[in-house]
Structure 1
């Protein structure tokens, strides 16, 4: 999970993870190694609301509820599930649509510092997740949200 193929969430141009260390992000992008990127705009399509909380133990319910409360207190209907979406893409890449591209990170001081740029390139070493793979699901973002919530609630329940 890193970067944005659109606006940022910590500055108008930069997503939090890329902004945390643009030089490191640029080094990774420039290395030419195979990289799959799950970016901010895609993650924001996968969210959960009060009616989506899975049955789970009290601690996990409290943690997920507290996370959801952040969005609700800001007037949003639900909260995006950022990192679990990236983890799911690593485990179940067939659920996502990818396109090859080149990735660049702005490292020059200024308003765009930390912004990521993705340029289509059939020979690019980066595979950018651009959406959800077509399949039988009527609402793939909702299906992915459900899978993420199940995984998070199961993992947290086993850790407590």
Structure 2
């Protein structure tokens, strides 16, 4: 089996860090060829530090890390999440990174890498500012991106930042709108499914039993982040890339509300023939997951280090 080559666009954040470890443990199936960072869960500087801290823990300093957007399109600064602690990794004892950032802005590097690859897969688990900026800078980029797998949105359930919007889309609704209007095939793992992928005591105990530095750090994050938000939001996107058969989905046309106020970032998902009104679906909306299979998939990745 040929490993899926992809760029990871993220805002680490504890659940992004767990997603990174999840993917890095499965080198047989996933080949992370670059990381593009965006401000989100915390500001850009700690996000960049955290991405490199996790790579160094996993002994993967070969993966380049690029700095991206420090703010959303239409606001001087973005929302941050209180769930991840002031450092973004729930007070982790991981040392400061020693590897250098790679040259180039995340948006231009996404374009460059996509053109070099010919058909690039992007996995995005933060605000979509970098990808939207890349699309604006390079209008032909959709020709070179095969698919985007993203964590974000709330299609058929309440939001977690406002009653209507999930965090990533609420941070930069205009970026999300640009991405969904791009014509690139998108798989969206929003709160509809990620609230079903929850941290369990069994998952924590098994990670502790594995006992490697990677597994123990994962256990730390599961305990300390999971106490505030027990949902494995970002690792769900990695699980989809590994085993889509453990999920249920529905095809739909997704648009994003960019109005000011509580609706900013709201997903409007049309799935019935009546609501589609002749529009073609632009998104695979993930709605369910086999949580037992998810747990085993995640733990097996930790065992593979």
Report the TM-score, using the length of structure 1 for normalisation. Answer: 0.78
Report what 1:56 is aligned to. 210
SS in 2 for 1:68: coil
Please report how far the alpha carbon of residue 149 of structure 1 lies from its aligned counterpart in structure 2 after TM superposition.
Answer: 4.1
Check 1:93–1:24 CA distance in 2 against 1; reply closer, same or farther (3 A cut).
same
Say whether the 8 Å CA contact 2:199–2:222 is kept in structure 1.
no
| Superposition pairs of residues 8-23 of structure 1, within 5 angstroms | 8-23=159-174
2: distance between equivalents of 1:3 and 1:149? 26
Specify which of 283, 288, 292 is matched with residue 131 of structure 1.
Answer: 288
Q: What is the deviation of 1:48?
A: 2.0
Match of 2:192 in 1: 41
After superposition, residues 16-95 of structure 1 pair within 5 angstroms as 16-53=167-204, 54=206, 55-57=209-211, 58-71=216-229, 79-95=230-246
Among 98, 113, 124, which residue is 2:249 paired with? 98
Higher relative contact order (CA 8 A, sep 6+): 1
Give distance in 2, aligned partners of 1:98 and 1:38. 9
Match of 1:2 among 152, 166, 174: 152
| Partner Cα separation in structure 2 for residue 118 and residue 88 of structure 1 | 23
Residues 46 and 142 in structure 1, CA contact (< 8 A), matched pair in contact too: no
> 2: CA distance between counterparts of 1:99 and 1:19?
23
Structure 1 segments unaligned to the other structure (5+ residues): 72-78, 133-139
SS in 2 for 1:45: coil
RMSD: 2.0
Query: Per-residue CA shift, 1:87-134, capped at 9, x if unaligned?
Result: 1112222222222111011101122111111111583121111224xx
Aligned to 2:262, what secondary structure does the other structure show?
A: coil
Q: 1:60 to 1:112 in 2, by over 3 A?
A: closer
Equivalent-residue separation in structure 2 for 1:143 and 1:93 (angstroms)? 11
After superposition, the C-alpha distances for 1:48-103 in whole angstroms (9 at most, x for unaligned) are 222332223343332322223324xxxxxxx1111111111122222222221110
Q: Which has the larger radius of gyration?
A: 2
Paired residues in the alignment total 141
Provide closer, same or farther for how the CA distance between residues 31 and 81 of structure 1 changes in structure 2, counting only shifts above 3 A: same
The secondary structure found in structure 2 opposite 1:143 is: helix
Match of 2:258 among 104, 107, 126: 107
TM-score, length basis structure 2: 0.43
Distance in 1, matches of 2:217 and 2:288, equals 32
In 1, the alpha carbon distance for the partners of 2:283 and 2:164 equals 20
Q: Which moved more, 1:121-130 or 1:19-28?
A: 121-130
